[in-house]
C-alpha cells in the first residue's frame, strides 16, 4: 500500500528528533503557534492533494521553528507566471 504524500514536511522533520525532543516539540510547537494540539495534528496530516491548508503566518512560524528557509517546509512547487508577463501582454493589445 502506497503512503500518500503530505503537503508539508512537518512529520518528516519531527521524526528526525530524538524521542525526548520530539515529546517537547509536540508540546511546545502548538503553544508557539497559538493553536491546539489537535489543530497541529491536523496540520501534520494534510495530504498533498487536499484543499485544506495551513495559514501562511503559521507556515512561516514553523519554518523559523525548524530553522528552514522560506518555502522549505512545503512538499510541493508552485508554478505561476510572474505578474509582469500578463500585464505586459495586456498593454501590448
Question: What are the residue ranges spanned by the domains of the chain?
Answer: 10-92
CATH number of 10-92: 1.10.260
Q: What is the per-residue pLDDT across 35-46, written as a single tens digit (0 to 9) for each?
A: 999 999 999 999
Task: Give the DSSP H or E segment for 92.
Answer: helix 84-92
Helix orientation angle between 56-65 and 19-33, rounded to the nearest 10 degrees: 140
Residues in the chain with pLDDT values less than 50: 1-2
Task: Indicate yes or no: pTM above 0.75.
Answer: yes
Amino acid at each position: 500500500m502506497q503512503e500518500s504524500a503530505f503537503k508539508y514536511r512537518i512529520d518528516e522533520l519531527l521524526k528526525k528528533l530524538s524521542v525526548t525532543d520530539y515529546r517537547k516539540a509536540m508540546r511546545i510547537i502548538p503553544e508557539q503557534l497559538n493553536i491546539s494540539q489537535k489543530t497541529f495534528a491536523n496540520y501534520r496530516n494534510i495530504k498533498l492533494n487536499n484543499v485544506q491548508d495551513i495559514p501562511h503566518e503559521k507556515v512561516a512560524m514553523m519554518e523559523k521553528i525548524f530553522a528552514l528557509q522560506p518555502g522549505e517546509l512545503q512538499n510541493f512547487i508552485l508554478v505561476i507566471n510572474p505578474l509582469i508577463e500578463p500585464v505586459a501582454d495586456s498593454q501590448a493589445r
